[in-house]
């Protein structure tokens, strides 16, 4: 990698992490993954927490890599996960850069395409991100897939296979669409040696799944989802059910797929057969993933589907829409069609700002997107007319988006859940309660603070909303979670009943404090009471 490209990758990676779209920790899925990692390292933890006691990590090396790095370095899980997140985001930035250079664009223009893509988008419906905020397996795998795509478009099939295999070891479902397309490329080239790499990776994955400690739970892959669990999944994990997606998403994804097709037609003079196979194949896989999910989950009720979540391949429709629209804009500018360039550039900025192609748009959104598209058009035009001045123009236009979207557009991708109060009560519990103590936030409903408490305190939580995401994996756990949720969250249970259920402490916000009863701990946000 050339020094200028390496510097670009590092700068954009830093921007994505510290500015926009940003990063989170213990605010979504890491609320489950981190306690599971703690459990795998120390089996004595979370013995009374059913959500954590059965880690669903058999088919990923996420846990082996992270726990192994902790034992090797002595660093905490947050540091190790953050290091992986930054390194793998960088591979994604480089991968999209390679896609740009494969289309014959200059290094600077390819950087611009990669920079625009790296603004990140929430893929509505399946509720997945093109750049994950959290250091989770899917967030590690997708940048490696983008890297593999870029390498494959340059004919570097062994390197592409290596990158995709690494992604598969982190999160196999994210790689499925790529392997389908890559297999066609290899068949066409009659080149089979790169397949030895994923075969070895799959053997490694199977071996580690068998050698993993007895704590690890093997998910049922070939069963039928019962009606009771299906109802729970529709309540707690509705994003898996295509029939429950908002109707406007049909218009959105149809329009976005149309944008991809139009962009491919506009770029046809730049596209090789390899480009057509890769782009059309990924687009087709993305579009077909929704009806495939509908048929296999809602039709056949196949238990693998809520775990595999095939409809999340819709992210390739969104990703290609951004990349191909930016590429079509540059191609139009090469022909001095600047009005067309502006029209194409609206799409890569509209999606991070509005999430949908379809209106209605607020005045702020419309002005912001138009302004960013105009700045991008001007920067690309400078490149076409005066390449020596292009670096500054493209850099300014790219940097503007990272700061303008959150500052002017007011776009905040995630809530600020962390505060000294939840950290304080977690630190108290970790220091002054037994390792097998069980806590409950009885008034929490869908609040995510109990998950922060669980991970930071290393103490069991009787039931919480985030833990309900496990309904995708195990039927008995799904039914147990729902029974607990109904018993102590949807109704007020007495201390005696909670104690009988194994709850040792309840944690309430100050507005729910018990007058005349001294808590065993309190701070500016929470009070803790024993149940017996």
Could you read off the pLDDT of 216-248 as tens digits, one per residue? 455 566 789 999 999 999 999 999 999 999 999
Tell me: cis bond preceding 426? Omega within 30 of 0 counts: no
Least confident of 54-68, 174-188, 269-283, 439-453: 54-68
Pseudo-torsion of CA 154, 158, 160, 165, nearest 10°? 170
Whether the pLDDT of residue 176 is over 60: the answer is yes
**Mean pLDDT value of segment 513-521:** 92
How many Cβ atoms sit within 10 Å of the Cβ of residue 300?
Answer: 12
Could you read off the pLDDT of 481-507 as tens digits, one per residue? 999 999 999 999 999 999 999 999 999
Q: Enter the DSSP assignment of 240.
A: G
Residue count (the chain): 532
Spatial separation of the C-alpha atoms in residues 521 and 67, rounded to whole Å: 33
Rounded to 10°, the helix 475-488/227-236 angle is 60
Spatial separation of the C-alpha atoms in residues 473 and 219, rounded to whole Å: 6
Could you read off the pLDDT of 77-118 as tens digits, one per residue? 999 999 999 999 999 999 999 999 999 999 999 999 999 999
Q: Which residue has the higher pLDDT, 53 or 185?
A: 185
> Cβ neighbours of residue 154 under 8 Å, at least 6 residues apart?
98, 101, 102
Whether the pLDDT of residue 214 is over 60: the answer is no
pLDDT band at 178 (very low <50, low <70, confident <90, very high): very high
Helix, strand, coil abundance in the chain, percent, nearest 5? 65, 5, 30
Rounded to 10°, the helix 315-334/363-385 angle is 50
pLDDT band at 441 (very low <50, low <70, confident <90, very high): very high
For residues 109 and 330, the answer to whether their CB atoms sit within 8 Å is yes
For residues 60 and 169, the answer to whether their CB atoms sit within 8 Å is yes
Spatial separation of the C-alpha atoms in residues 304 and 287, rounded to whole Å: 20
Could you read off the pLDDT of 21-69 as tens digits, one per residue? 999 999 999 999 999 999 999 999 999 999 898 777 888 999 999 999 9
**Mean pLDDT value of segment 506-532:** 94
How many Cβ atoms sit within 10 Å of the Cβ of residue 4?
Answer: 12
User: Count of alpha carbons within 13 Å of 224, Cβ hemisphere only?
Assistant: 4
- Residue 409: per-residue pLDDT: 93
Whether the pLDDT of residue 425 is over 80: the answer is yes
How many Cβ atoms sit within 10 Å of the Cβ of residue 50?
Answer: 18
- Residue 513: per-residue pLDDT: 92
Could you read off the pLDDT of 124-174 as tens digits, one per residue? 999 999 999 999 999 999 999 999 999 999 999 999 999 999 999 999 999
Tell me: cis bond preceding 53? Omega within 30 of 0 counts: no
- Residue 220: per-residue pLDDT: 65
- Residue 55: per-residue pLDDT: 77
Spatial separation of the C-alpha atoms in residues 511 and 76, rounded to whole Å: 34
> Cβ neighbours of residue 363 under 8 Å, at least 6 residues apart?
none
Could you read off the pLDDT of 315-331 as tens digits, one per residue? 999 999 999 999 999 99
Spatial separation of the C-alpha atoms in residues 171 and 499, rounded to whole Å: 39
| 302 phi, psi to nearest 5 deg | -75, 125
Whether the pLDDT of residue 428 is over 80: the answer is yes
Q: Which two tokens stand for residue 316?
A: 């390739």
For 174-219, the DSSP string reads HHHHHHHHHHHHHHHHT--GGGHHHHHHHHHHHHHHHHS-TT--PP
Bridge partners of residue 507, in order along the sequence: 528
Bridge partners of residue 301, in order along the sequence: none
pLDDT band at 212 (very low <50, low <70, confident <90, very high): low
- Residue 218: per-residue pLDDT: 57
Q: Which two tokens stand for residue 505?
A: 């402490």
Q: Which two tokens stand for residue 395?
A: 């850099």
For 284-331, the DSSP string reads HHHHHHHHHHIIIIIIS-BTHHHHH-GGGGGHHHHHHHHHHHHHHHHH
Q: Which two tokens stand for residue 105?
A: 């664009």
Whether the pLDDT of residue 180 is over 60: the answer is yes
How many Cβ atoms sit within 10 Å of the Cβ of residue 187?
Answer: 11
Spatial separation of the C-alpha atoms in residues 326 and 350, rounded to whole Å: 12
């Amino acid at each position: 990698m050339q020094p200028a490209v390496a510097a670009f990758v590092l700068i954009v990676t830093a921007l994505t992490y510290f500015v926009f779209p940003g990063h989170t920790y213990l605010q979504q899925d890491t609320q489950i993954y981190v306690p599971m990692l703690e459990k795998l390292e120390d089996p004595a933890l979370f013995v009374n927490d059913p959500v954590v006691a059965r880690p669903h990590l058999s088919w990923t090396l996420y846990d082996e890599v992270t726990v192994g790095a902790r034992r090797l370095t002595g660093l905490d899980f947050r540091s190790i996960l953050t290091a992986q997140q930054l390194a793998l985001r960088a591979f994604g930035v480089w991968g999209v850069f390679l896609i740009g250079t494969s289309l014959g664009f200059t290094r600077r223009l390819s950087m611009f395409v990669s920079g625009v893509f790296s603004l990140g988008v929430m893929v509505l419906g399946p509720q997945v991100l093109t750049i994950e905020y959290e250091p989770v397996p899917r967030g590690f795998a997708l940048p490696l897939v983008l890297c593999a795509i870029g390498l494959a478009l340059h004919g570097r099939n062994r390197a592409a296979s290596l990158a995709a295999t690494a992604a598969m070891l982190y999160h196999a479902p994210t790689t499925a669409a790529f392997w389908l397309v890559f297999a066609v490329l290899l068949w066409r080239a009659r080149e089979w040696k790169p397949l030895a790499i994923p075969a070895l990776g799959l053997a490694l994955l199977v071996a580690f799944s068998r050698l993993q400690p007895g704590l690890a739970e093997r998910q049922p892959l070939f069963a039928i989802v019962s009606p009771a669990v299906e109802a729970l999944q529709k309540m707690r994990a509705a994003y898996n059910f295509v029939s429950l997606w908002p109707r406007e998403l049909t218009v959105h994804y149809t329009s976005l797929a149309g944008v991809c097709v139009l962009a491919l037609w506009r770029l046809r003079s730049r596209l090789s057969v390899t480009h057509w196979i890769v782009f059309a194949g990924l687009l087709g896989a993305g579009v077909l993933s929704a009806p495939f999910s509908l048929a296999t989950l809602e039709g056949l009720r196949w238990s693998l589907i809520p775990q595999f979540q095939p409809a999340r391949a819709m992210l390739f429709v969104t990703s290609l829409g951004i990349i191909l629209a930016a590429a079509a804009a540059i191609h139009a500018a090469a022909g001095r069609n600047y009005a067309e360039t502006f029209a194409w550039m609206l799409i890569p900025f509209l999606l991070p700002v509005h999430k949908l192609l379809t209106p209605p748009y607020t005045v702020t959104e419309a002005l912001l997107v138009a302004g960013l598209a105009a700045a991008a058009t001007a920067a690309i035009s400078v490149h076409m007319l005066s390449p020596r001045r292009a670096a500054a123009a493209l850099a300014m236009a790219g940097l503007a988006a990272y700061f303008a979207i959150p500052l002017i557009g007011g776009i905040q991708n995630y809530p600020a859940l962390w505060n000294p109060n939840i950290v304080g009560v977690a630190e108290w519990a970790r220091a002054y309660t037994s390792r097998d103590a069980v806590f409950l936030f009885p008034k929490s409903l869908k609040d995510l603070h109990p998950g922060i408490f669980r991970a930071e305190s290393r103490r069991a939580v009787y039931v919480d909303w985030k833990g309900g995401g496990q309904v995708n994996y195990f039927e008995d756990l799904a039914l147990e979670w729902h029974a607990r949720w109904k018993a102590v969250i949807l109704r007020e249970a007495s201390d005696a009943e909670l104690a009988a259920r194994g709850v040792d402490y309840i944690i309430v916000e100050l507005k729910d404090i018990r007058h005349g009863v001294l808590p065993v701990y309190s701070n500016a946000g929470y009070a803790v009471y024993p149940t017996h």
